[in-house]
Amino acid sequence: MSKIILITGVSRGLGRVLTESFINLGHTVIGCARSPEPIDLLNQQYGKPHDFQVVNVEDHQSVENWVNHLLKNYPAPDIVINNAAIINPLAPLWEVPPHEFNQVIDVNIKGVANVIRYLVPAMIKRGSGIIINLSSGWGRSTSPQVATYCTSKWAIEGLTQALAQELPPGLAAIPMSPGIIHTDMLEICYGEDAAAFTSPQEWVKKAVPFILGLSPKKNGVPVTVPN
């Protein structure tokens, strides 16, 4: 059965390959990203019934306007994937400039909360839906020089598990670690060594069926995409 799947951060990396794969399987994808050019390209490439908009998830008014637009044109989504996230340049925590720390927190935590704030009421009214918040191995462990990112992803684990306790039957909130994938973000952390890890194109072959197989039984359960 075709599903309506909402994805944030569709312009590149995991968001982009998820978008393409779900569409190729016949699902409807509604997505957002901050950069206008890739959004224009996605709309040109796929068109209706899919819908891609420029949205800054850290700005709650931008998210509210986007969700209002969507709910006028679509039912509440079957699956929400909060994927949009950033990482700051590697540095000990005390050397991370305040603006870099704030932006990671604003995008990675507040951005997820904003999407949930404006979408969950419609999903509750519908009586079903899966909310997947992308976590990380660094949301369940730590490493030096990535304290800000770890902070944001540990927060996502807690936020998601608490949300799971608040949702009514039929809905689920699931923190999902994608594993270690060769993305632009990984290159910031690992440099040239990032190329040794799984590419997004290979990862998505397992990630998509795994996501489509998630059910309300997994509400609040931390999961990891199989290798």
Q: What is the domain-level CATH number for residue 117?
A: 3.40.50.720
Overall number of domains in the chain: 1
Calpha distance 66→59 (Å, rounded): 11
One-letter amino acid at 200 equals: P
One-letter amino acid at 43 equals: N
CB 219 within 8 A of CB 173: yes
149 is catalytic: yes
Tell me the average pLDDT across 193-221. 89
Phi, psi of 208 (to 5 degrees): -65, -50
Calpha distance 66→68 (Å, rounded): 5
Q: How confident is the model at residue 180 (pLDDT cuts 50, 70, 90)?
A: confident
**pLDDT at position 186 over 60:** no
Lowest mean pLDDT across 32-41, 90-99, 142-151, 196-205: 196-205
**pLDDT at position 192 over 90:** no
| Rg over CA atoms, the chain | 17
Q: What are residue 174's DSSP bridge partners?
A: 132
CB 147 within 8 A of CB 93: yes
**pLDDT at position 182 over 90:** no
Query: ∠ CA 45-61-70 to the nearest 5 degrees?
Result: 40
Domain region containing 219: 4-224
Question: 151: number of CA atoms within 13 Å, CB side?
Answer: 16
Would you say the C-alpha torsion 49, 52, 58, 64 has a positive or negative sign?
negative
Which tokens hold the place of 132? 């997947």
Q: Which of 46, 118, 149, 190 is catalytic?
A: 149
